[in-house]
Structure 1
Amino acid sequence: MTASLCLLFDSDGTLVDSEILLAQVMADVLPDYGLPFTAAEYMHDFRGVRFLDIVRTLEQRHGEIGETQCLDLEEAMRSRMETRMRAELRAIEGMPAALNALSAYPRAVVSNGPDRKIRCAMESTGLASHFGERLFSAYALEVWKPDPRLFHIAAEAMGYPPERCVVVDDAAVGVAAGLEAGMHVIHLNRFPDEETTPDGAIAINHASELPAVIEQLVRQTPALA
């Protein structure tokens, strides 16, 4: 029997605890290219946002750096980030157990990051076996959250209509994309004192809550014809 729901997971901040590493790396690298930046800025204002969009925003504030420098900047940032991920990255607390409990459901990773970064994250944290090759990178597909098309492409590839998909995402851009895509959305809100879950999304604060929420959604979702 086909599972009634397909689970579409964000990577950074949802499956893996990479965002503070990324914030620190960007705070180290961006100022070297004339773009003042702090880790706190990333965590408060830019979580989940496409890297180039962050750079463009900073350029509006501090002046353009040029395309060559922008390419060099991204290469330096990604190289340093991969080194730190392989040495330090961990899965989000409770996520491995949650994925084990949800093993009956088809699932995929849908991320605003490059394919190489997604694969590095899955390999470094031992989560790769849960997803295999079901990895959907915005860079490969050339469409980034909050554009809902990224989730639509993933859903179609997985063989599920939007209403049978559940987006699990921690970032505002991913939650917005999932809602606009017409999917069920679970907001892993790890900073409830600072962030508000938008109407239409289900808020959880810990990955251990996921299996129960999915079970509830299944009870509310009619079986496939």
Structure 2
Amino acid sequence: MKKLELDRIQCVIFDLDGTLVDSEVICLQGYCDTVPDLDWDVHYMIENLRGCQFHAIVAAMEGRVGHKLADDYEITYRAHVAELFEAELKAFPDVVEVVSALNLPKCIASAGPPKKMQHSLGLTGLLPHFEGRLFSSYDVQSWKPEPGLFLHAAEKMGFAPQNCLVVEDSAVGIKAARRAGMQHLLHVPMGHEAFAGYDGEILKSYRDFPLK
């Protein structure tokens, strides 16, 4: 297993969904709820589509159900997920405490649209800790596993890629971090397992976050 080189880390780049906030299952359940003839359940979605781009997930669902989804499907989906967030969304245990105590520069790089990021962070009390340092794939038109979003975040934060640590929860996110030449830490909450073939360090609880 490759160990983190903590003395080289000058900036922390967090993913958002499934990493800071417990939203990944909610977001994937949203697809199941809004495509009634889809026979995939949320467990299948987690196993196969976790961390993937919205349009890639839509294409996969269209292939499964055998027809195009409505032109306004994204509006329907986003509105439903926003309602689910209002009812269910929480930050992972100890995240707020760790983020507020972290002395290193930090930012968020997420595949989600900026409006969704603002909503998630506002609901969970995290927004004040990242205000002005939110980077979205929708702004740079680069989606994981491509490294563009992470490289953009590092540049805007003013740090070389090799001095950044990416905290992620998905295989595509870890691949993007590797392609960007950054160190990476995989968030695997209790009761979950790392994706097959992962050989780096794992974070099971934010109480054990290696940078404090």
User: Please, what TM-score do these two structures have when normalized by structure 1?
Assistant: 0.84
Task: Name the counterpart of 1:89.
Answer: 89
RMSD: 1.9
Distance 1:194 1:162 in 2: 24
Distance 1:148 1:170 in 2: 16
Structure 1 partner of 2:180: 181
Greater relative contact order: 1 or 2 (C-alpha under 8 angstroms, separation 6 or more)?
2
Residue-by-residue CA offset, 1:149-179 (whole Å, 9 max, x unaligned): 1100110010001011010011111111011
Q: For the structure 1 residues 193 and 9, does the alpha-carbon distance in structure 2 shift closer, same or farther, using more than 3 Å as the test?
A: closer
Instruction: Return 6-15 or 42-51, whichever deviates more.
Output: 42-51
Give the number of aligned pairs: 204
**Displaced runs of 4+ in structure 1, greater than 6 A?**
none
Aligned position for 1:223: none
- Answer with 89-98 or 117-126: which moved more: 89-98
Report what 2:53 is aligned to.
50
Other structure's SS at 1:108 match: strand
Larger Rg: 1
TM-score in terms of structure 2 length:
0.89
- 1:107 to partner: Cα distance: 0.7
Q: Does 1:5 align with 2:4?
A: no
Gaps of 5+ in 2: 1-7
Aligned with 2:25 (options 14, 20, 26):
20
1:154-165 matches, within 5 Å, as: 154-165=153-164
Which residue does 1:118 correspond to in 2?
Answer: 117
Greater share of helix: 1
For 2:131, the equivalent position in structure 1 comes to 132
- 8 Å CA contact retained: 2:85, 2:120: yes
Give the equivalent residue in structure 1 for 2:211.
Answer: 214
Cα distance in 2, alignment partners of residues 60 and 27 from structure 1: 14
Q: For 1:172 and 1:4, locate their aligned partners in 2 and report how far apart those are by CA, in whole Å.
A: 21
Structure 1 position 192, deviation (Å):
4.7
Q: Partner of 2:80 in structure 1?
A: 80
Q: Which letter does structure 2 place at the counterpart of 1:47?
A: R
| Higher mean displacement: 114-123 or 92-101 | 92-101
After superposition, the Cα gap between the structure-2 partners of 1:164 and 1:64, relative to the gap in structure 1 and judged at 3 Å, is: same
For 1:53 and 1:130, the matched residues in 2 are separated by 31
Letter in 2 for 1:50: Q
SS in structure 1 at match of 2:109: strand
Unaligned runs of 5+ in 1: 216-225
- Distance in 2 separating the partners of 1:129 and 1:180: 30
**Letter of the aligned partner of 1:17 in structure 2?**
D
The residue identity in structure 2 corresponding to 1:169 is E
Structure-2 residue corresponding to 1:218: none
Among residues 54, 63, 66, which one is paired with 2:66 in the alignment? Answer: 63
Q: Deviations over 1:27-71 (max 9, x none)?
A: 11022xx544321122221111111101112223332406xx1x3
Three-state SS of the structure 1 residue aligned to 2:35 is helix
SS in structure 1 at match of 2:211: helix
Confirm or deny that 1:203 pairs with 2:202.
yes
Residue aligned with 1:136, SS: strand
Equivalent pair of 1:97/1:208 in contact (CA under 8 Å) = no
Partner of 1:150: 149
